[in-house]
């Protein structure tokens, strides 16, 4: 029997917790056995952070009164036994609403006043200023209080047309999109610009983020939704009315904000909601089913998506069925079909991506740790050969051996100056990489774009400055790739030289691949070009709107730059840590060799004792390597194991 989205997400959360715990235990074990150098530690930290902090965003998009909030209630909050998100007739969610969980923040609703649209800061900047938000504490154990508090996202206020125009919510050029004018000449606008809900719902605690959006006019007025939040969603559920099909405004939302490349089409689900309006006592169930199927096929054809991506649902009946425990009504609502599609599509895709990250991360740290064990084994072999060569030799030979080791140590210490010089060149080139991808460089680029957009009136040829900006950004990544290639070449040559001179086993780590970051850059550009169509021409003619659009773009680009910088930093740290580890092991080896000679000189029989001691260390090293294999192999298995298998493994450990 297929599991629902909620059940699959619960299993995904159990896997993440189990994996995070095992990763922490591995780090502690490696630290206890001196295998945790800076590079391995950073890799483990990043891997744990990726798994523990993994977020899955599901965005619900559609025009007003399509039943978005009711669908969220039915899928995620039926366990409360009532509606939690406001879902009454008419306009409900008036501002974009994000629902998630942050353990450092108490349960609360935070609301950003609509007046902040009069100021230039992007939404991400306002997130950094919690004092500017109106906060309402929530009692997650009281469904009635919770639901009453969340009704605030539907609040509106009356303003003049001039005020609405200043807020970007009134456009004389597109009268059909404007709100109604009352008898006093006032118009209704949302009271809030954005809402953040932080509650310890089981699914939200496991990393689910729900984004509930208002209709077309509100989406278009908030560019950060289009260019930042929606593109980052793992899945977008686009909701239509089963009775109306694809309306003109529905089609505008789809074309302007939701069309993606064909290879990404699986992350777009279209829901034909309110199929219960087609249930007709005068028609047979077969006739009703045929009518619904025709509507689904027509919708798929109009939107240009596979028929399988269109799912008919009755959110209201599904919620009622869950609350009243009515399996027959639940099946008729088709809600389980949508939950299965969400579970198999989003969770399957997310686990696949995380699985690849885990496989790569565990493989790399196993390789780095294995290299340290190899060095220790080689040093023990050298010591054993050296000591066995002293068997039967007199005191003068042993004394000469000590002198030779001391001389080798002195020569090795002199090589430190050469290594320091290499590191200086390495750091100089790295600084160029960091400067190229810095926040200051990106800020200057965005300022140049903003200047190009400040021409008065309609932005003729507006796509040109965007195209030029993205070409320059791509050139930055290509330059950084070239610098990294130069660094890698230098490191490889230096490591080969050190390997030859000192018997190291250094290997320059593979340089960062910026292909993914360039693909992300292309995706952001496509999203912006899509947004620069004729429909938004009047908005784009306003300087303040263009400024908000550029700020939203900067927020998205900053994420890409920071991810690239993190890759470069990990690469650099891995190379430096590898060199540090082998230098440290070599110095320890010199110390152990001198100590062994001193003990042999001071005590009869010390030579045989030392040989026996090394044999014991070799045995310990074999056990260490075997245990490392066991721990890492378990992590590779558990990344795909179902929750039951993981639990059994923990119980047997």
Residue 546 confidence (pLDDT): 75
Residue 226: pLDDT band with limits 50, 70, 90 = low
In a domain, 394, yes or no: no
Average pLDDT over residues 353-365: 77
Q: Is the pLDDT of residue 329 over 90?
A: yes
> Is residue 200's pLDDT more than 80?
yes
Number of Cα atoms under 13 Å in the Cβ half of residue 484: 25
The burial class, CB within 10 Å (0-12 / 13-18 / 19+), for 429 is middle
What is d(CA 303, CA 310) in angstroms, rounded to the nearest whole number? 10
The reply to whether 307 and 380 lie within a common domain is no
Statement to judge: residues 245 and 305 lie in one domain: yes
Q: Using N-to-C axis directions, what is the helix angle for 335-342 and 68-76, rounded to 10°?
A: 80
Q: Which helix (H) or strand (E) holds 239?
A: strand 235-241
Out of 308, 333, 358, a domain closes at: 333
CA angle 583-589-593, nearest 5°? Answer: 150
Could you tell me if residue 444 is inside a domain? yes
Provide the residue range defining the domain that includes 514. Answer: 422-580
pLDDT (average), residues 279-296: 87
Task: Indicate if 527 and 568 belong to the same structural domain.
Answer: yes
Q: Which pLDDT value is given to residue 465?
A: 84
Residue 357 has pLDDT above 90, yes or no: no
Measured between alpha carbons, how far is residue 121 from residues 149, 260, 530 in Å?
27, 28, 23
Token pair 């500017």 in the structure block, residue: 132
CB atoms within 10 A of CB 278: 18
Answer whether 216's CB lies under 8 Å from 64's CB.
no
Q: Is residue 248 part of a domain?
A: yes
Q: Are residues 204 and 99 in the same domain?
A: yes
98 close to 211: Cβ distance less than 8 angstroms: yes
For residue 162, tell me if it sits in a domain: no
User: What is the C-alpha to C-alpha distance for residues 597 and 405, in angstroms, rounded to an integer?
Assistant: 10
For residue 37, pLDDT over 70 is answered with yes
Q: What is the pLDDT of residue 651?
A: 40
CA dist 312 and 245 (Å) reads 11
Read off the pLDDT of residues 569-627 as tens digits, 9 standing for 90 and up. 888 888 888 888 888 888 888 888 887 777 776 665 567 777 788 888 888 888 888 88
Structure confidence at residue 543 (pLDDT):
66
Number of Cα atoms under 13 Å in the Cβ half of residue 482: 8
pLDDT for the residue numbered 461: 66
User: Which pLDDT does position 50 carry in this prediction?
Assistant: 74
pTM: 0.71
**CATH for 126:** 3.40.50.300
| Burial class of residue 329 in the structure, from the number of CB atoms within 10 Å of its CB (0-12 exposed, 13-18 middle, 19+ buried) | middle
Is 175 in contact with 228 (CB distance < 8 Å)?
no
Domain presence at residue 342: no
Give, in degrees to the nearest 5, the angle at Cα 333 between 343 and 331: 75
Which of 81-85, 178-182, 300-304, 472-476 is the least confident region?
178-182
Q: Does one domain contain both 380 and 505?
A: no
- CB 552, CB 524: distance < 8 Å: no
Calpha distance 81→95 (Å, rounded): 25
Q: Read off the pLDDT band of 531 (50, 70, 90).
A: low
Looking at the fold, whether 557 and 642 belong to one and the same domain comes out as no
Instruction: Establish how many alpha carbons lie within 13 A of residue 407's alpha carbon, considering only the half-sphere containing its beta carbon.
Output: 6
Q: Which of 325-339, 353-367, 621-635, 637-651 has the lowest mean pLDDT?
A: 637-651
User: Do 435 and 564 fall within a single domain?
Assistant: yes
Cα torsion 417, 422, 428, 434: sign: negative
pLDDT at 11 over 60: yes
Q: Indicate if 137 and 245 belong to the same structural domain.
A: yes
pLDDT above 50 (res 182): yes
- Spatial separation of the C-alpha atoms in residues 231 and 223, rounded to whole Å: 12
CA dist 542 and 403 (Å) reads 81
pLDDT of residue 561: 94
Q: Taking the CA of residue 653 as centre, how many other CA atoms within 13 Å lie in the half-sphere pointing to its CB?
A: 15
Are residues 429 and 570 located together in one domain of the fold? yes
Residue 476 maps to a domain: yes
Higher per-residue pLDDT: 302 or 546: 302
Contact call for residues 180 and 158 (beta carbons, < 8 A): no
Q: Are residues 526 and 574 in the same domain?
A: yes
Percent of the chain with pLDDT over 90: 20
- Whole-number pLDDT of residue 471: 93
Average pLDDT over every residue of 37-64? 79
Burial class (CB in 10 A: 0-12, 13-18, 19+), 480: buried
Domains contained in the chain, number? 3
pLDDT computed for residue 481 by the predictor: 92
The confidence score (pLDDT) of residue 603 equals 60
Highest averaged pLDDT of the listed ranges 78-92, 209-223, 333-347: 333-347
State residue 410's pLDDT score: 83
Whether 48 and 74 share a structural domain: no
Is the model's pLDDT at 137 over the cut of 80? yes
Q: Under 8 Å CB-to-CB from 152, ≥6 apart: which residues?
A: 109, 111, 136, 192, 195
pLDDT in tens, 157-176: 999 988 988 887 787 766 77
Q: Is the pLDDT of residue 262 over 50?
A: no
pLDDT, residue 606, reads 66
pLDDT per residue over 13-25, tens digit each? 777 777 878 888 8
In a shared domain, residues 380 and 518:
no
Q: Has residue 280 been placed in a domain?
A: yes
Highest mean pLDDT among 159-173, 323-337, 348-362, 395-409: 323-337
Domain assignment present for 399: no
Q: What is the pLDDT of residue 652?
A: 40
pLDDT digits (tens, 9 = 90+) for 442-464: 999 988 888 877 766 545 567 78
Over residues 369-373, mean pLDDT? 81
Mean pLDDT of the chain: 81
Last residue of a domain, one of 545, 580, 615: 580
Residue 541 has pLDDT above 90, yes or no: no
């Amino acid at each position: 029997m297929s599991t629902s989205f909620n059940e699959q997400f619960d299993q995904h959360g159990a896997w993440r917790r189990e994996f995070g715990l095992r990763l922490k235990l591995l780090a502690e074990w490696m630290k206890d056995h001196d295998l945790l150098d800076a590079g391995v530690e950073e890799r483990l930290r990043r891997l744990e952070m990726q798994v523990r902090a993994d977020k899955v965003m599901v965005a619900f998009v559609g025009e007003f009164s399509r039943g978005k909030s009711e669908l969220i209630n039915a899928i995620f909050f039926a366990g409360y036994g009532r509606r939690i998100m406001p879902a009454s007739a008419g306009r409900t969610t008036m501002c974009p609403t994000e629902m998630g969980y942050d353990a450092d923040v108490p349960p609360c609703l935070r609301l950003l006043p609509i007046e902040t649209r009069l100021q230039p800061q992007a939404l991400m900047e306002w997130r950094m200023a919690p004092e500017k938000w109106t906060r309402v504490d929530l009692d997650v154990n009281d469904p009635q209080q919770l639901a009453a508090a969340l009704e605030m996202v539907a609040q509106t206020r009356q303003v003049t047309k001039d005020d609405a125009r200043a807020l970007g919510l009134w456009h004389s050029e597109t009268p059909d999109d404007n709100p109604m004018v009352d008898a006093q000449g006032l118009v209704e606008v949302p009271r809030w610009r954005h809402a953040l809900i932080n509650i310890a719902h089981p699914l939200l605690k496991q990393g689910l983020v729900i984004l509930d959006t208002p209709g077309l006019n509100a989406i278009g007025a908030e560019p950060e939704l289009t260019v930042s939040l929606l593109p980052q969603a793992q899945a977008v559920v686009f909701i239509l009315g089963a009775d109306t099909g694809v309306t003109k405004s529905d089609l505008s939302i789809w074309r302007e904000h939701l069309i993606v490349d064909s290879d990404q089409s699986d992350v777009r689900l279209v829901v034909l909601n309110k199929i219960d309006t087609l249930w007709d006592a005068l028609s047979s169930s077969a006739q009703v089913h045929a009518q619904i199927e025709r509507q689904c096929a027509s919708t798929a054809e109009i939107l240009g998506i596979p028929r399988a991506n269109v799912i008919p649902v009755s959110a209201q009946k599904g919620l009622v069925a869950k609350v009243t425990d009515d399996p027959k009504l639940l099946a008729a609502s088709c809600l389980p079909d949508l939950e299965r599609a969400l579970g198999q599509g989003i969770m399957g895709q997310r686990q696949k991506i995380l699985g690849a990250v885990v496989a790569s991360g565990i493989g790399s740290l196993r390789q780095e740790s294995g290299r340290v064990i190899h060095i220790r084994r080689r040093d023990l072999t050298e010591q054993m050969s050296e000591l066995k060569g002293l068997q039967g030799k007199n005191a003068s030979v042993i004394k000469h051996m000590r002198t030779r080791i001391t001389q080798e140590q002195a020569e090795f210490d002199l090589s430190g100056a050469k290594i320091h010089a290499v590191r200086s060149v390495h750091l100089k080139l790295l600084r160029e990489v960091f400067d190229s991808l810095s926040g200051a460089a990106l800020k200057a680029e965005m300022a140049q774009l903003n200047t190009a957009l400040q021409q008065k009136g309609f932005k003729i040829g507006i796509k040109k400055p965007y195209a030029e900006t993205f070409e320059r950004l791509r050139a930055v990544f290509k330059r950084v790739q070239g610098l990294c290639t130069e660094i890698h070449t230098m490191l490889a040559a230096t490591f080969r030289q050190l390997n030859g001179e000192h018997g190291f086993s250094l290997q320059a780590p593979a340089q960062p691949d910026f292909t993914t970051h360039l693909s992300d850059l292309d995706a952001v550009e496509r999203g912006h070009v899509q947004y620069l169509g004729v429909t938004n021409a009047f908005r784009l003619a306003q300087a303040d709107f263009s400024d908000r659009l550029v700020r939203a773009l900067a927020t998205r680009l900053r994420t890409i730059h920071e991810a690239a910088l993190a890759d470069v930093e990990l690469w650099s740290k891995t190379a430096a840590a590898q060199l540090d580890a082998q230098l440290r092991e070599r110095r320890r080896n010199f110390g152990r060799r001198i100590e062994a000679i001193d003990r042999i000189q001071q005590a009869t029989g010390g030579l045989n004792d030392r040989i026996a001691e090394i044999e014991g260390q070799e045995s310990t090293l074999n056990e260490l390597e075997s245990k490392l294999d066991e721990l890492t192999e378990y992590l590779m298995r558990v990344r795909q194991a179902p929750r039951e298998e993981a639990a059994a493994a923990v119980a047997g450990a």
